[in-house]
Structure 1
């Protein structure tokens, strides 16, 4: 898959493909689906939509991606899905992320039961996604970007959907500090679009610890992986 595309999966219990088409027309509140295209009515917003039959491994993927947040009832529903709809759209800006988020909301209203962002491996329940306000940048950020840990560093995943680099911090800091600094740094570059240079420093506030910035290529995911960030990585080193 093209790393410059956003890909989102929505499983559901539709009876057949005709049922999917009719449900989208009836309940998505503004979208139509034909062939492999879902389109917003009275708009030039068009996305690819692929339908996949039941996947017995999907429940494992959602269980992992939900990080223990999904109740057993929802896990059971996902296990019993009949189809999964994969929406594919352009990435690279807040506006593109907002548009595909609204499509996903339409699919949930049309019978979807959960959401998985393939570019970052994060999953959301129906209720959490429906309550998300796509006009709020902070809510888009929290819905699309996640954080993980390797042996050497903590890292973010998902900023490529906004057309921006991800970031890392060495594991010499605590998980709490890493999450605090990474989330604030990434939200800063998302909302302010600053011009940053190697060797400059960042701190959340004047009283907080300073971190030295170093920009590198994304070298912990292969280029053909959806997690790969073609916009690079900011490494934050504690001073």
Structure 2
């Protein structure tokens, strides 16, 4: 797996930056703050933490990036947040992805209100993020990635968290089919399936075949948090010969 990073923004109502550490010590069993590091006691994993003052734009971005999980009450709480904890996770393998979700849980338990996945442009309420505590790669994938409909394609975002390129399929596909193709191909990659090169074919169980076209991610500037340095894969449907 390619080495990469995940960046999570977690707003909350803390009286000060120091109070974040205090609340983690009180309410996040299994974690310890040591300066700018959040340490997971059982595994020894360390996560970089940066605490900053409130940013009204983040609350607006989270509501816009959510799938409806922010009730009016939660949205009002987000708007009143006092500080933001940025959780920076170095990812070397999928176990680090699971660790990122656990670490975010610890900060939520210490007063966090929700999670913005800055590397995918998607946001969740506390309840949505903590809906399941099970170790589940499919759940990690669903939380750290997103699919959007663009002018001429359906595209995924956030696959760089798993060290892979994002995927695009033509907008001519039915939306249900497009989502199925993107999710299935992405999960094939992150679960250890065979890798593909430019010009290779990928066939689904229903017999539909797509040609893999490797490309650069030119959707955003290189310095944008959403930019995927591993590229963008275009899956082009193959037309069956008559």
Instruction: Please tell me the TM-score bracket, short chain as reference.
Output: over 0.9
Name the count of aligned residue pairs. Answer: 236
After the TM superposition, which segments of 4 or more aligned residues of structure 1 sit over 3 Å from their partners?
Answer: none
Please give the TM-score of this superposition, normalised by the length of structure 1.
0.92
Please give the TM-score of this superposition, normalised by the length of structure 2.
0.91
Distance 1:103 1:167, change over 3 A: same
* 8 A contact 1:92–1:160 mirrored in 2: no
Match of 2:107 in 1: 107
Q: CA deviation at 1:118?
A: 0.5
Match of 2:131 in 1: 131
Match of 1:90 in 2: 90
Q: Residue 197 in 1 paired to residue 197 in 2?
A: yes
Structure 1: runs of 5 or more not aligned: none
* 8 A contact 1:167–1:182 mirrored in 2: yes
Q: CA deviation at 1:133?
A: 3.5
Match of 1:55 in 2: 55
- CA-to-aligned-CA distance 1:206-226 (integer Å, 9 cap, x gap): x24221111112122221111
What CA distance in whole angstroms lies between the structure 1 residues aligned with 2:199 and 2:47?
40
Alpha-carbon RMSD: 1.7
SS in structure 1 of the partner of residue 194 of structure 2? coil
- CA-to-aligned-CA distance 1:101-142 (integer Å, 9 cap, x gap): 111011111111101110001111111111233511100010
Question: Which of 128-137 and 156-165 deviates more?
Answer: 128-137
* 8 A contact 2:25–2:31 mirrored in 1: yes
Q: CA deviation at 1:178?
A: 0.9
SS in structure 1 of the partner of residue 147 of structure 2? strand
Distance 1:192 1:34, change over 3 A: closer
Q: CA deviation at 1:92?
A: 4.3
Match of 1:37 in 2: 37
SS in structure 2 of the partner of residue 177 of structure 1? helix
Match of 1:14 in 2: 14
